[in-house]
Structure 1
Amino acid sequence: MSSIESNQLLLAAAAAAEDKKAEEIRILALDPAESGLADYFLICNGTNDRQNVAISDEIEIRLKREFGVYPNAVEGRRQSEWILMDYVDFIVHVFSPEKRAFYGLERLRKSATTLSVDDINADLKAQIAATRKISAKAAKKTAPKKAVKSSAVKKSVKRAKAKPTKKLVTSKTTKKKK
């Protein structure tokens, strides 16, 4: 299961690709036993090389601006037929239509399940709710309890209230009276 932050990053990357009119946006949840690479693939394509660069630039800029996250590696930006952006928990693939059909990552990753943005949003909400429950339980356990005064402290407080205070007479007060 991926973290809340990685799901938020993935959703922001998908939204950035959609804003730049990427086509056929797919999110593949990879099988952890089969792939040690990442949790997800975000796969999309543009209609031409310039659009591919614009899509990858928008994803990179948005994740930098909103989360302060940079990709670990970016490959293929010069040729712009297949741009790969590695964000550790997920990998973004921006293809030209021809290269996407040729390489067919969806075919290669048959064990991966295709997810929609709604599926990831639901998973994110469930993770946040679970985190809130856990933090609420932890807060109850660590909440300070009422201080219980010892019997000696209680007795000394009672004595202080019971005894009237005597006013001290000093030499200055006696001189003023004359």
Structure 2
Amino acid sequence: ITLATRFAIEGGMDEEDAYNASDLYIQDLDNCKTPEDVRRLHTDMMTFFTWAMADMQKAETHSKAVNECLDYIHYHLHEKITVPILAEHVHLNPTYLSELFKRETGTAISQYITDMRMEAAENMLKYSEYSFDEIAQILAYRSQSHFSKVFKKHSGMTPGEYRTKYAQNGIWPE
């Protein structure tokens, strides 16, 4: 796990993302009971890092302002994020920033924020035991019901259905 993490970081993967993944895999390793469990975890980890690195190769380059917005969003998913907050952060007019972001990423800022929060929610539902209310709070949703509504619209299932379908078997103790 350490070597895969180190190589991913050397290859350009965001350090925080790599270390977060590493921490989850180390926690999961503690729950492995058989050599087959370890092999399955190893395959999952290597697949994750391989796809993460492949996605980086496809990543588009953006203007400094858009890159700063992407970073801000990534590191502040647990806070309220609005176009005016982002515009102030990058010292641009909110309308201009919205147009620039949409032109460079193909996605509206609000949709991008929702997509990133939903990606984080999917990971928490798969790999953690956080309650739905805790996930909603962590991702700065005003209520669990609002989070559930947004999640269902995004994934086509409720958070409970998603966790039941995709939670990693054998990771958590019975």
Q: Give the shorter-chain TM-score range.
A: under 0.3
Pick the structure with more strand per residue. Answer: 1
Query: RCO greater where, 1 or 2, for CA within 8 Å and sep 6 or more?
Result: 1
Pick the structure with more helix per residue. Answer: 2
Larger radius of gyration: 1
TM-score normalised to the size of structure 2?
0.23
